[in-house]
Amino acid sequence: MKIRRLLGLDIAREKYAFAKDAAVGHISAQRVADTWVKTTCGYCSVGCGMQIGVREGKVVTSRGDQNHSVNRGKLCPKGLAEHYVLNAENRARYPHLRGKNGLERISWEEALGTMAGEFRRVAEKYGPQAIGVISTGQLVTEEFYTLGKLVQLGLGTSNFDGNTTLCMSTAVSGYKRSFGSDGPPGAYEDFTKAEVILLIGANIAENHPILCQHLDANTKKTLIVADPRVSKTAMMADIFLPVKPRSDLALVNGIAHILIRDGLIDREYIDRHTNGFDELCRFLDKYDPEYVSGITGLSTELLERVAHLYGKANGAFIGWTMGVNHSSKGTETVNAINNLALLTGNVGRVGGSPFSITGQCNAMGTRETGFTSSLPGYRKFENETDREELASLWGVAVERIPTQRGLAYPDIISAVLRKKIRALWIIATNPLVSFPNIDVLKQALGELEFLVVQDCFHPTPTTVLAHMVLPAAAWGEKEGTYTNSERRVSKVNAAVPPPGEALSDFDIFLRLAGELGCREELFPGWKEPRDAFEEWKRVSEGRLCDYSGMTYEVMEAYGGIQWPYPKNADTAPTAARRLYTDGVFETADGRAKLICAEWEPFPEQPSQDYPFVLNTGRTVEHWHTRTKTGAIAILEQIAPRAWLEMNPVDAKRLMLRPHDLVDIVSTRGRVRRVELRVTEVIAPGQVFVPFHFAEWNINEVTQDIFDPISREPNYKQCAVRVEKAASA
Ligand SMILES: Nc1nc2c(c(=O)[nH]1)N[C@H]1C(S)=C(S)[C@@H](COP(=O)(O)OP(=O)(O)OC[C@H]3O[C@@H](n4cnc5c(=O)[nH]c(N)nc54)[C@H](O)[C@@H]3O)O[C@H]1N2
Ligand SMILES: Nc1nc2c(c(=O)[nH]1)N[C@H]1C(S)=C(S)[C@@H](COP(=O)(O)OP(=O)(O)OC[C@H]3O[C@@H](n4cnc5c(=O)[nH]c(N)nc54)[C@H](O)[C@@H]3O)O[C@H]1N2
Ligand code: SF4
Ligand SMILES: [Mo]
């Protein structure tokens, strides 16, 4: 009960049950469903199974799927309220084109004809690489697979990336460097079987609430949480490590140092399955407890205790999320985490893996089928055999498969600014709220000759800037699959048709391919997502992410199937599957790499003018830029506005009081009139603001500094000053 209270789930549920009536405003009999449609939650990467209740052709409610292995009937507040998204007033219903009177309604024929014409014009004038495409981890896999083929082979540009570079690209790069391939090795079962669970920069209580059910089921674990903030997850911990901002790399190196010094490593595993041990030992020499204590702010006793717990555990699990990824040292921090797991043989073991908890409902699907940082099926751009295999599967000339990735998201934006990219297609992401240092982005978008935004909501801060807006069907209105953090592929189904003339992203892609004249070549005879899924099964066959034994029907019957699931899979779909259980990795010699990664301070340190370290993140009620949750009355009522968390010591010094309105200022911008929360959740010298609110957009002040390897933004630290707001 204590944990559930801390999570806020009970509280949220009570408020939810109460306010649901008020929000909907009609009698409960009208909310009794006559049909239930099975599907998967469209918010986070936990991947809960759910059912949408439909009455007389309208969605009226949703509930957890008792038979789904991920959530066994439970849902968090967002999942419980998800059906409201579909009836929101500000759904995008018709295509629009910018004319004399702003965005004007047009037909689909005109929209897609104009779009194909503009892309062709730009390609002829400047070359196909002058077209950029930015997509998302929120499409179904079938759509993303189709889009990759369309962009690469149809439009002929490799300048294709997604919001996943604001999110997961660091984990992807880290896995590739250490293990030779992307792919989180563990399973949710590890949460229930591990003896030690170390969560680094992962606030699952707010952001992956149903994972807490898996943790709760493990009564023998020691839960260690590293976060500069006393997050709700930190409140659940047996041991809380209040690390100084972005000192995690030193922390993890320091634990490795103690493990090696005290012989708490698996020498046999290291000798058989890794390269680089001697070099790593020499490198880690300086990361002794005193040195690491100075960087992290943790006592040497605490460091020794944590290292010994980790090293002696029968099953030690490390989960991390954005506290690690949102950093210009992120990839190297992931490598250091992977080192810890390799040194102790905790990879793909029951209860032991280095596990990147993903973010969006289908961030994983984009990683598997992508054409962004890899070729589909985790094939490598630089590998000739991989390119030949893909070309022959598709029956196209190998020259059409690129030999290197195109520009990553932030580099697409700077190419737009430099007029190297002239046309941009943005699909299911809202950069005007989510991209760091928004002013530079705004300048860049102003340079474009043609901007198309495809979204299920309109207006949004991004759609209003577009030359063309394409209305898309949302979750609940379309079919396909999502892959969750543990590589479980679950079915997504339509409960109702999309509003107005909105089309599924899948249909939009196929129709655009028709306009571009490549539909029959690339998507012969395709009519529905299942056609894409069947082709993807063949493309993934024999790869690490092998889908070839899956079917939609088996997936639905078992509450999802984890990959790899080859044609003649030798275990039932229900058995937990892990990667690298035999210690053989995806590198040339099958060995994983131990990587030396040096800690360094974050780029913009506090100064006299900007004395606070700004941390940004999430709250349980809201989803990202709030296009969805902002339309849901109950969630809005619980979290109606942005706030800034400040320690009482700092508030006293600045003579600020709870609920004062404050401005947050950096060298890049100012966010006005944010409500002050005075709380010891945040340490002195640091402040925290959620990034969900366009009205108080914290990305006005964040910094556009990126990880040189993954290109992920350093969202979690920059220097700001806090001022009492001028009276309105
Ligand atoms: N309710 C809700 N759930 C979501 C989402 C949402 O928008 N709303 N989004 C989904 C997506 S796409 C993602 S990526 C995930 C993100 O899930 P999380 O990564 O859990 O989310 P954040 O709140 O961004 O950051 C997590 C924690 O990192 C901590 N942190 C900041 N700096 C540091 C540091 O230097 N070191 C360490 N160790 N920790 C640090 C923050 O204090 C915060 O508690 O959530 C998913 N789930
Ligand atoms: N300061 C700061 N900034 C951050 C973060 C942070 O922690 N701090 N986190 C970063 C992270 S991890 C992430 S993932 C990003 C997320 O940032 P965004 O991707 O910009 O956030 P969303 O609000 O999810 O945007 C998705 C958009 O797609 C639309 N949409 C939803 N479903 C569909 C669909 O099926 N089809 C179509 N066509 N449209 C659809 C929604 O209406 C919405 O406009 O934000 C990043 N920005
Ligand atoms: S935990 Fe994630 S997947 Fe599950 S109901 Fe909540 S938002 Fe949806
Ligand atoms: Mo994310």
- Could you please report the per-residue DSSP string of 58-106? EEEEEEE-TT-TTTTT---HHHHTGGGGGG-TTB--S-EEEETTEEEE-
Residues contacting ligand 2 via CB (< 6 Å): 136, 138-139, 163, 166-167, 322, 326, 359-360, 427-431, 433-434, 454-457, 460, 472, 474, 505, 616-617, 624-625, 627, 691, 698-699, 702, 715
Interval between CA 284 and ligand 4 midpoint (Å): 31
The distance from CA 562 to its chain's CA centroid, rounded to whole angstroms, is: 19
**Tokens 């066959």 sit on residue:** 541
Interval between CA 75 and ligand 3 midpoint (Å): 6
CA 108, 114, 118, 124 dihedral sign is positive
Beta-bridge mates of residue 713 = 706
197 with 186, same domain? yes
Beta-bridge mates of residue 627 = none
* Residue of 615, 618, 623 with the most ligand 1 atoms within 8 Å of its CB, for mutation: 618
Q: In which order are the strands placed within the sheet that holds 468-471? A: 102-105, 96-99, 468-471, 450-455, 423-427, 131-135, 160-162
pLDDT (tens digit per residue) in 74-95: 999 999 999 999 999 999 999 9
Q: How much is the pLDDT for 573?
A: 85
pLDDT (tens digit per residue) in 313-356: 999 999 999 999 999 999 999 999 999 999 999 999 999 999 99
Looking at the CA of 620, name the nearest ligand.
1
336 with 374, same domain? no
Return the CA Rg of the chain: 25
pLDDT (tens digit per residue) in 394-447: 999 999 999 999 999 999 999 999 999 999 999 999 999 999 999 999 999 999
Ligand 1 proximity of 622 Cβ (cutoff 6 Å)? yes
**Mean pLDDT confidence for 193-219:** 97
The reply to whether 440 falls in a domain is: yes
| pLDDT reading at 11 higher than 70 | no
**Tokens 């759609």 sit on residue:** 463
The type of residue at 102 is G
321 with 465, same domain? no
**22 pLDDT band (50/70/90 cuts)?**
very low
Looking at the CA of 138, name the nearest ligand.
2
- How far apart CA 550 and CA 572 sit, in angstroms, is 11
Q: Could you tell me the CATH number of the domain that includes residue 24?
A: 3.30.200.210
178 with 283, same domain? yes
* Residue of 455, 614, 664 with the most ligand 2 atoms within 8 Å of its CB, for mutation: 455
CB neighbour class for 551 (10 Å; exposed up to 12, middle 13-18, buried from 19) = middle
Q: How much is the pLDDT for 510?
A: 98
Looking at the CA of 207, name the nearest ligand.
1
Position in ligand 2 atom list of the atom nearest CA 463: 44
The reply to whether 47 falls in a domain is: yes
| pLDDT reading at 10 higher than 70 | no
CA 387, 393, 394, 399 dihedral sign is positive
Tell me which H or E stretch contains 280: helix 277-284
Q: Domain boundary at 34, 64, 87, which?
A: 87
329 with 397, same domain? no
The type of residue at 15 is K
Position in ligand 3 atom list of the atom nearest CA 40: 3
**Tokens 């936990």 sit on residue:** 46
N-term to C-term CA, the chain: 43
403 with 525, same domain? yes
Q: Could you tell me the CATH number of the domain that includes residue 414?
A: 3.40.50.740
The reply to whether 581 falls in a domain is: no
Let me know: does 240 contact 627? Beta carbons within 8 Å. Answer: no
* Residue of 85, 166, 208, 426 with the most ligand 2 atoms within 8 Å of its CB, for mutation: 166
Q: How much is the pLDDT for 400?
A: 96
Q: What are phi and psi of 456, to 5 degrees?
A: -90, -5
Going by C-alpha positions, the residue among 313, 346, 368, 365 that lies closest to residue 186 is: 346
Interval between CA 135 and ligand 4 midpoint (Å): 13
Residues contacting ligand 3 via CB (< 6 Å): 41, 43-44, 46-48, 71, 75-76, 78-79, 208-210
% of the chain residues with pLDDT over 70: 96
Ligand 1 proximity of 623 Cβ (cutoff 6 Å)? yes
Q: What secondary structure letter does DSSP report for 107?
A: -
Interval between CA 566 and ligand 3 midpoint (Å): 28
Q: What are phi and psi of 424, to 5 degrees?
A: -135, 135
Residue 14 sits in which domain range? 3-87
Q: Could you tell me the CATH number of the domain that includes residue 190?
A: 3.40.228.10
Please give the angle made by the CA atoms of 593, 331 and 199, to the nearest 5 degrees.
95
Interval between CA 512 and ligand 3 midpoint (Å): 33
Ligand 1 proximity of 332 Cβ (cutoff 6 Å)? no
Take atom 26 of ligand 2 and give the residue whose Cα is closest: 429
Position in ligand 3 atom list of the atom nearest CA 77: 6
138 with 277, same domain? no
The reply to whether 428 falls in a domain is: yes
Let me know: does 594 contact 276? Beta carbons within 8 Å. Answer: yes
What one-character-per-residue DSSP string does 210-263 give?
THHHHHHT-SS-EEEEE-SS--HHHHT-SEEE-PPTT-HHHHHHHHHHHHHHTT
**176 pLDDT band (50/70/90 cuts)?**
very high
542 with 497, same domain? yes
Looking at the CA of 475, name the nearest ligand.
2
Q: How much is the pLDDT for 17?
A: 43
The reply to whether 592 falls in a domain is: no
Interval between CA 470 and ligand 3 midpoint (Å): 27
161 with 174, same domain? no
Position in ligand 2 atom list of the atom nearest CA 470: 38
474 with 547, same domain? yes
**702 pLDDT band (50/70/90 cuts)?**
very high
380 with 484, same domain? yes
Interval between CA 225 and ligand 1 midpoint (Å): 13
- How far apart CA 425 and CA 421 sit, in angstroms, is 11
Looking at the CA of 618, name the nearest ligand.
1
Peptide bond into 228 cis (omega under 30): no
What size, in residues, is the chain? Answer: 728
What one-character-per-residue DSSP string does 713-727 give?
B-TT--EEEEEEPPP
Position in ligand 1 atom list of the atom nearest CA 167: 14
**2 pLDDT band (50/70/90 cuts)?**
very low
**Mean pLDDT confidence for 505-522:** 98
- How far apart CA 411 and CA 102 sit, in angstroms, is 29
**570 pLDDT band (50/70/90 cuts)?**
confident
* Residue of 39, 85, 138 with the most ligand 2 atoms within 8 Å of its CB, for mutation: 138
* Residue of 41, 66, 69 with the most ligand 3 atoms within 8 Å of its CB, for mutation: 41
| pLDDT reading at 16 higher than 90 | no
| pLDDT reading at 13 higher than 50 | no
The reply to whether 496 falls in a domain is: yes
Q: How much is the pLDDT for 534?
A: 98
pLDDT (tens digit per residue) in 348-381: 999 999 999 999 999 999 999 988 999 999 999 9
Q: What are phi and psi of 382, to 5 degrees?
A: -80, -5
pLDDT (tens digit per residue) in 218-261: 999 999 999 999 999 999 999 999 999 999 999 999 999 999 99
The reply to whether 572 falls in a domain is: no
Q: Domain boundary at 87, 119, 140, which?
A: 87
**Mean pLDDT confidence for 19-34:** 63
Position in ligand 3 atom list of the atom nearest CA 210: 1
Count of H-run helices and E-run strands, the chain: 28, 26
Let me know: does 315 contact 352? Beta carbons within 8 Å. Answer: yes
User: How many CA atoms within 13 Å lie on the side-chain side of 391?
Assistant: 16
% of the chain residues with pLDDT over 90: 94
Interval between CA 199 and ligand 1 midpoint (Å): 11
Burial call 74-111: b when 16+ CB within 10 Å, e when fewer: bbbbbbbbbbbbbebeebbebbbbeeeeebeebebeeb
The type of residue at 2 is K
The reply to whether 392 falls in a domain is: yes
Tokens of 594: 């131990």
Let me know: does 275 contact 588? Beta carbons within 8 Å. Answer: no
Alpha helices in 297-422 (DSSP H): 300-312, 322-325, 330-343, 363-369, 384-394, 409-417
pLDDT (tens digit per residue) in 250-269: 999 999 999 999 999 999 99
**Stronger pLDDT, 465 or 11, i.e. the higher one:** 465
**Could you count the other beta carbons within 10 Å of the beta carbon of residue 325?**
32
Looking at the CA of 704, name the nearest ligand.
2
| Per-chain mean pLDDT for the chain | 95
Position in ligand 1 atom list of the atom nearest CA 621: 1
Q: In sequence order, which residues have a C-beta less than 8 Å from that of residue 127 and are 6 or more positions away?
A: none
Q: Domain boundary at 55, 87, 119, which?
A: 87
Number of structural domains, the chain? 4
Please give the angle made by the CA atoms of 581, 584 and 588, to the nearest 5 degrees.
155
Take atom 6 of ligand 2 and give the residue whose Cα is closest: 617
130 with 192, same domain? no
Tell me which H or E stretch contains 319: strand 316-320
Q: Give the pairing of strands 480-483 and 196-200.
A: unpaired
The distance from CA 118 to its chain's CA centroid, rounded to whole angstroms, is: 31
pLDDT (tens digit per residue) in 632-648: 999 999 999 999 999 99
**727 pLDDT band (50/70/90 cuts)?**
confident
